[in-house]
Amino acid sequence: MKRLYTWYVALISIMGCALFLYIRPFEHVEQQWLLLLLLSFSTTLLSIYIVHLPPKGNAFSLDSTIYLATIFVYGLETSLMVLLLSMIPTYFFHEKKMEWWKHVCNFAMYTCMIVGAYYSFLMFGGESGSFSLHDLGAYFVSLVVYSFINILLMIGFFSFSPSFSFRNMLIGIVNEWLSTYGVTLLASLILVSLLLLHEYFGILLFASIGFLLSLTFRQYGQLYEKVAHDKAYIEQLLNSLPIGIVTLDEAAANHFINNSAATLLYLDKKEIKQLIEGERKSERNASFWNLFISPDPFQQVKVPYERDGEEKIFLVSQSNLYNLYDEIIGRTIFFLDITEMEQLTKRIHQSEKLALMGEMAAKAAHEIRNPLAVIHGFLTFMNENLRERDREQYHIPLLLKEIDRINAIVEDMLLIAKPSAPVMKEAYIETIV
């Protein structure tokens, strides 16, 4: 594959250079050298200061505009001389790190494109040196041939790549052709008018406008990159929050749904968007989705939500979305899963009830223990003073035993209600084990 690529580059280079030498533009150039140098300088300048378009990576150069305009005004030889003179400073100053054979191949490609554009221009009735609305078809055909040769040569280059996809490349070409080459044709006709009006002033004015456009779009591209970076950072920050967030931008008809919202709802973002816009309906969670209809702000509304047979409880709030001018442009709805918190709250309430019951039990046990002490005292006195036959007749020892048992139960109730301090004593670890 690498050998085929090398042969392809060599073939294009030889064909383009041979075509340039066959035409011999040195012998046919009749224009002043000052104008030729101005055209070459402008071409070099516009090939260096290209117009960058966001997003990053999209750009187009206005050097082809000068080649086409030179064809329309001065002919093929002048255009080829401008190409040659503009390639020299590019090789020695701007693209010094690029291998020499790539410069030769680039020169050969532009030669083929310029020659094809010139002869197609003549074939469809175009005439160099003047501008006429009747020649618009010739101008258009010339641009089509120019761009078609460029596309064919580039397809040949990329076809040697392992990741080459003809379909994807064709789609990209179709999407960019009208915008990029449409601007090229329009700008070339503007330059033709300027050159016919005043040669030196026209080319200087066009080069200055192209240079300023490049600087302006470069600043615009940097601003776009900064805004895109800030947007990505904010989205990443919102996606990292454990709260479901849904932003409804009614002014731009746009929705933002963070990752936590999709996770909490067990739905993908496309399904959520369809439910919000009413394209789909959910009967199981109608109370939750009805909150997206209300335009009025609300705070901390508890809503049940069922997912996979499991019922969750969401705490939902809604606030207005404002722009830089403090105008309402939409709404922001955020919700949080408070199912565990609700269960914990119920357990806390149950614990409070049990604590209250413990306090009541402690008071009751304390009140029970007082009369038990009196009864125990009298029975002890009777046990000590009655004869043995009387003690057995009235079961005094059994009564004392049962009262002690009741007292032990009361002591346990008091201990649960208000645990006493631990009693420390020595013990052998073997016994404990």
Structure tokens at 423: 């009693």
* Those residues with Cβ within 8 angstroms of residue 98's Cβ, 6 or more apart along the chain or in another chain: 91
* Those residues with Cβ within 8 angstroms of residue 61's Cβ, 6 or more apart along the chain or in another chain: 46, 47, 50, 51
C-alpha to C-alpha distance for 208 and 185, rounded to whole angstroms: 18
Q: Do residues 195 and 75 make contact, with C-beta atoms less than 8 angstroms apart?
A: no
Which residue intervals of 90-198 are DSSP H helices? 100-123, 136-158, 166-197
**What is the per-residue pLDDT across 196-218, written as a single tens digit (0 to 9) for each?**
888 899 999 999 999 998 898 88
Neighbour count for residue 26 (Cβ, 10 Å): 11
Is residue 406 packed enough to be buried (19+ CB in 10 Å), middle (13-18) or exposed (0-12)?
middle
Q: What is the pLDDT of residue 170?
A: 67
Q: 241-337: what fold?
A: Beta-Lactamase (3.30.450)
Structure tokens at 216: 């302006």
Per-position DSSP letters for 411-424, written without gaps between them: HHHHHHHSPPPPPP
Amino acid identity, position 8 = Y
> May I ask the CATH class of domain 344-432?
mainly alpha
Q: What is the pLDDT of residue 121?
A: 93
- Strand ranges for 179-294 from DSSP E: 244-249, 254-257
Tens digits of pLDDT across the chain (433 residues): 677 778 888 898 899 999 998 888 877 666 578 888 899 999 988 888 888 777 666 677 888 899 999 999 988 988 999 999 888 877 666 666 777 788 888 899 999 999 999 999 999 988 888 888 888 889 999 988 988 888 888 877 777 666 666 666 666 666 666 667 778 888 898 999 998 888 899 999 999 999 998 898 888 888 888 888 888 888 888 888 889 999 888 776 778 889 998 888 888 888 888 888 777 776 778 888 888 888 889 998 999 988 777 888 999 999 998 888 888 888 999 999 998 888 888 888 888 887 787 777 777 777 777 787 888 887 787 877 877 777 777 777 888 888 888 888 877 777 766 666 777 889 899 988 8
DSSP code of residue 90? I
Assign residue 244 a region: left if phi > 0, alpha if psi is -120 to 50, beta otherwise? beta
- Is residue 55 reached through a cis peptide bond, with omega within 30 degrees of 0 on the bond before it? yes
Q: Which residue has the tokens 């413990």?
A: 358
Residue range(s) of every CATH 3.30.450.20 domain in the chain: 241-337
Which residue intervals of 278-420 are DSSP H helices? 286-289, 339-385, 388-393, 396-417
Neighbour count for residue 77 (Cβ, 10 Å): 19
Q: What is the pLDDT of residue 335?
A: 92
Q: Do residues 143 and 68 make contact, with C-beta atoms less than 8 angstroms apart?
A: yes
Q: Which residue has the tokens 């406008």?
A: 209
Residue range(s) of every CATH 1.10.287 domain in the chain: 344-432
Tally helices (H) and strands (E) across the chain.
16, 7
Opening angle at CA 133, ends 128 and 138, nearest 5: 55
Q: Do residues 314 and 288 make contact, with C-beta atoms less than 8 angstroms apart?
A: yes
C-alpha to C-alpha distance for 150 and 12, rounded to whole angstroms: 12
Q: Do residues 142 and 111 make contact, with C-beta atoms less than 8 angstroms apart?
A: no
* Those residues with Cβ within 8 angstroms of residue 392's Cβ, 6 or more apart along the chain or in another chain: none
C-alpha to C-alpha distance for 210 and 215, rounded to whole angstroms: 9
Classify strands 298-307 and 51-53 as parallel, antiparallel or unpaired: unpaired
Q: What is the pLDDT of residue 105?
A: 87
- Edge-to-edge, what's the strand order for the sheet holding 244-249? 254-257, 244-249, 328-337, 310-322, 298-307
**What is the per-residue pLDDT across 375-416, written as a single tens digit (0 to 9) for each?**
888 778 787 787 777 777 777 788 888 888 888 887 777 776
Which of these, 407, 352, 346, lies nearest to 375 by C-alpha position? 407
Helix, strand and coil in the chain, % to nearest 5: 70, 10, 20
Classify strands 310-322 and 244-249 as parallel, antiparallel or unpaired: unpaired
